[in-house]
Amino acid sequence: QVQLVESGGGLVQPGGSLRLSCAASGSTSRIIAMAWYRQAPGKQCELVDFITSGDTTKYVDSVKGRFTISRDNAKNTVYLQMNSLKPEDTAVYYCNKFPLVGSWGQGTQVTVSS
Task: Kindly report, residue by residue over 41-54, the tens digit of the pLDDT.
Answer: 999 999 999 999 88
pLDDT of 86-110, one tens digit each? 999 999 999 999 998 889 999 999 9
Determine the Cα–Cα distance for residues 84 and 51; give it in Å rounded to an integer: 21
Confidence of residue 80 (pLDDT cuts 50, 70, 90): very high
| Cα Rg of the chain, angstroms | 13
Between strands 108-112 and 33-39, the pairing is: unpaired
Whether residue 29 is predicted with pLDDT greater than 80 in this model: the reply is no
Please report the pLDDT score of residue 30 as a whole number: 75
Q: Are 67 and 79 in contact (CB under 8 A)?
A: no
